[in-house]
Amino acid sequence: MKIVKTIAEMRFIRASLPEPLGFVPTLGYLHEGHLSLVRQARTDNASVVVSIFVNPTQFTPSDDLDRYPRDLEGDISLLCKEGVDAVFAPSVDEMYPPRFDSRVEVDKLTRRLEGASRPGHFAGVTMVVAKLFNIVQPARAYFGQKDAQQAIVIKKMVADLNMNLEVITLPTVRQQDGLAMSSRNSYLSADERQAALVLYRALMLEQGLWSQGDKDAEKLRNEMVKLIGKEPLATIDYISITDNETLEELKEVRPPALVSLAVKIG
Amino acid sequence: MKIVKTIAEMRFIRASLPEPLGFVPTLGYLHEGHLSLVRQARTDNASVVVSIFVNPTQFTPSDDLDRYPRDLEGDISLLCKEGVDAVFAPSVDEMYPPRFDSRVEVDKLTRRLEGASRPGHFAGVTMVVAKLFNIVQPARAYFGQKDAQQAIVIKKMVADLNMNLEVITLPTVRQQDGLAMSSRNSYLSADERQAALVLYRALMLEQGLWSQGDKDAEKLRNEMVKLIGKEPLATIDYISITDNETLEELKEVRPPALVSLAVKIG
């Protein structure tokens, strides 16, 4: 497995990797969610590249750039076992040299939900993902359903800009008790970690009510609000039931619907 | 020579065209300036694709989208003689389907000169060129020096977004009397066409003074202003002497300097 630090070296190595190539872009501090993407990429493709880059442009000023967890050696060891061909781990200066002056953005889709809570976040995501796609030139790129809006935004960018690759979204990987795997879970105290389960419980409640015949989005949303309201450590950022492609709010919930929620814990 | 109308067909044909591929994006109504790009692409590459697309997003509201000259049949006939492999001539709907939602922009470099006079113009250019590059996947793309800022902006986009191709700028092709070839010259009356020669005379004056030792940008600019002021049909939009990469104004003129000027005729 090659560890690649520069764009020039990545391009050089890329040229000799067999087609099709599967690509998993990450911020590192890898968990089973990332590894599920890597394993699918390994199954689907002749070669696999994983990038590890804590991209500063997707962190808003109030985000956690400085304390975002990192463990490059541990990540490399995990990826080696998965039969990855190359890990691309560039520096910030390598990706954003002086006088960097370009932008790649998706507009309407990024104004709601996570985009409304973290202005500029998705502009940073589309920027770095466009760069990484151009450097790595994958046939397929893999993203987790946990960041549902991100996957939808990237699919839109790929379609609009005619990028020649397929974006594949894989299910959220959860711990046994239902907490979604996330590098940021490392921030949680034991009490907060317990409180965070309210997210999963809210999703399960919604799914249960819906499968019993409750299709009214307003009612389903209110039931989730009520449940989360009982958890003293949780403050709701947003709960939203939308179309899975346009991100427009639904009145009546039918597939393909997306239930997305964000809750502040602590 | 294939005439290609859809993105899907272009991708299909592209896959069988030999590497490296040279690409010349145009708005059509081709003249010797375009053909000089096509000939260089033919010399440098194993295959050549030319696109003909009057891209609406690069026309500002006060621009000439509706009356921009078109002659697809004439263009195809010219390109056939140059040994072009495929002409990509998509419709507006094919390039910008409903709910199109993405943007590719270069920031600082597009705020001056042509970008200041035509706000949004370069955002349209970078958008469509990024799409065309992704569809055609060239090793080299060719642009004319006549639209000097455009070539600089596209080079910046390609560098910043790590697009895997080389941007090549070729000299402006002029008519015998010095007027730069341009599809828009068809708008000019006989008098206006004569008046438009003032652009070339101003550039020649600047070059002459500079080579005699006048290096002061302010003075050179003033001499050009004076010359153009004598032409009653000409109104200066801008005259600028800048660095050829950053587009920052120069005080002392040394290579690589860019002298750019825009004049309204009529």
Segment A155-206, tens digit of pLDDT:
999 999 999 999 999 999 999 999 999 999 999 999 999 999 999 999 999 9
Is B102 close to A107, i.e. CB distance below 8 A? yes
pLDDT-derived band at B89, boundaries 50, 70, 90:
very high
Nearest by CB: B104 against A108, A137, A161: A161
Express each pLDDT in B253-266 by its tens digit: 999 999 999 999 99
How many CB atoms within 10 Å of residue B252? 10
User: pLDDT per residue over B184-212, tens digit each?
Assistant: 999 999 999 999 999 999 999 999 999 99
| pLDDT per residue as tens digits for the range B36-66 | 999 999 999 999 999 999 999 999 999 999 9
| Cis bond upstream, residue B171 (ω within 30) | no
B225 — pLDDT class (breaks 50, 70, 90): very high
> What ipTM score was computed for the predicted complex, to two decimals?
0.95
Q: Give pLDDT, residue A81.
A: 97
- Round to whole Å and give the CA distance between B202 and B180: 13
Among B108, B109, B164, select the one facing A134 at the smallest CB separation.
B164
Query: What pLDDT was estimated at residue A3?
Result: 98
CA distance, residue B98 to nearest chain A CA (Å): 10
Place of tokens 């949004």: B120
Residue B2 is predicted with a pLDDT of: 97
Residue B76 is predicted with a pLDDT of: 98
User: Residues 184-243, chain A: which have Cβ within 8 Å of B?
Assistant: none
Segment B97-106, tens digit of pLDDT: 999 999 999 9
Look at residues A228, A217, A225, A224 and name the one whose alpha carbon lies nearest to residue A257. Answer: A217
pLDDT value of residue A20: 98
Cβ of B104 and A104 within 8 Å?
yes
**Bridge partners for B3 per DSSP:** B87
What is the overall mean pLDDT for chain B?
97
H or E element that contains A235: strand A234-243
- When scoring B19, B53, B103, B132 by the number of chain A Cβ atoms within 10 A, the one with the most, hence best to mutate, is B103
State if pTM tops 0.90. yes
Residues lower than pLDDT 70 in chain A: none
According to CATH, the superfamily of the domain at A188-265 is Pantoate-beta-alanine ligase, C-terminal domain (3.30.1300.10)
Which of B101, B160, B164 minimises the CB distance to A102?
B160
Note whether B135 contacts A108, CB cutoff 8 Å.
no
User: From CA A33, how far away is CA B116, in angstroms rounded?
Assistant: 47
Q: Which long-range contacts (CB under 8 A, 24 or more apart) does A170-174 make?
A: A170/A36, A170/A37, A170/A40, A170/A142, A170/A143, A170/A144, A170/A145, A171/A36, A171/A144, A171/A145, A172/A33, A172/A144, A172/A145, A172/A146, A173/A31, A173/A32, A173/A33, A173/A36, A173/A144, A173/A146, A174/A200
The beta-carbon neighbor of B162 closest among A131, A156, A162 is A131
Q: Is B111 on the interface with A (CB under 8 A)?
A: no
For A2-170, which CATH superfamily applies? HUPs (3.40.50.620)
Question: How many CB atoms lie under 10 A from the CB of residue B74?
Answer: 12
Residue-level pLDDT at A7 = 98
CA dist B252 to B216, B256, B266, Å? 5, 12, 33
Which residues of chain A have a CB within 8 Å of the CB of B108? 101
Closest CA of chain A from B51, distance in Å: 15
pLDDT of residue A35: 98
Helix axes A121-136, A7-14, angle to 10 degrees: 50
Mean pLDDT within B109-130:
97
Q: A161, B105: Cβ pair inside 8 Å?
A: no
Q: Residues of A numbered 132-151 whose beta carbons fall under 8 angstroms of chain B's beta carbons: which are they?
A: 134-135, 137
Q: Do A103 and B108 touch (CB under 8 A)?
A: no
Contact criterion met (CB < 8 Å) for A104 and B101: no
Confidence grade of residue B218 (pLDDT, cut at 50, 70, 90): very high
Contact A162 B135 (CB under 8 A): yes
Most B CBs within 10 Å, among A103, A137, A165, to test the B interface: A103
Q: Tell me whether domains A2-170 and A188-265 share a fold.
A: no
Q: What is the pLDDT at residue A192?
A: 98
Q: How confident is the model at residue B74 (pLDDT cuts 50, 70, 90)?
A: very high
Active-site annotation holder among B34, B118, B121, B156: B34
Q: Where are the domains of chain B?
A: 2-170, 188-265
